[in-house]
Amino acid sequence: MSFHKNLDTKTNVDDLGPLRAGTAPRLEVVKGNDELNLDALRIDTSLIEGVAAKVPLTIQVRKPSKHEWIRVHPEPSYRLTVGAIDLKEEDEFYVVGAGMREQLLGSEAAVYILYTYINRVGVLRLWPIRQAGPDGKQNEWHRTAEKVAEHAMQEWVRVVSIREAGGTTSCERRSTCRIRCGRTFPWSRSCGSP
């Protein structure tokens, strides 16, 4: 089965005149009567029902890596105090439910504050920082990590652990590092360049 369209194969000789004469074709920009109106292309968002939004399905719970710049959300509503078990060797973090909290706190579980932070790429995560135990003592690493989290509420920082200093350091964009004692060092000495 074949389909044929009724085509007029006759060509107007006047249309081919410039080509036969050897003159080069000319490129012309043709403007229409109506200009491009971007406002006419806009959609009134109040008319759209069920607008989709990007919502993370999972959120990692971990300390920021030393290579990423982060900001911690300053609002207290973006922090959560929980009882949790941190299995460092398995790289797993478990929040303990209310029914088991009393039995596990002080032995396998500890109190953590989960700080909401975001990195430069836009990845949202929770940073668990262990709080003081029942005896009121807090590990120096955890205490300084909390200070760094507070610092990250004000500006973009990089989180670096320095064993010699015995704590966590926040590196600012201004080419200095703040260590737990408040001293500042140039980038080249303790943190490297951004």
**Helix and strand element counts for the chain (H, E):** 5, 10
Q: In tens digits, what is the pLDDT along the chain, a chain of 194 residues?
A: 444 444 455 555 556 665 566 666 666 665 665 565 666 667 776 766 666 667 767 889 999 998 899 999 999 999 999 999 999 889 899 988 888 888 888 788 989 999 999 999 999 999 999 998 888 888 888 888 999 999 999 999 998 887 766 666 666 654 444 444 444 433 333 343 33
The structure tokens listed for 113 are 């504050």
- CA 167-169-170 angle, 5° bins: 155
Output the pLDDT for position 107: 84
Predicted confidence at residue 116, as pLDDT, reads 95
- Specify the pLDDT at position 115: 97
Q: Residue 96 gets which letter from DSSP? A: P
pTM over 0.85? The answer is no
**Which pLDDT does position 133 carry in this prediction?**
83
Classified as helix, coil or strand, 82 is strand
Q: Where are the domains of the chain?
A: 60-190
151: closest CA among 64, 70, 67?
70
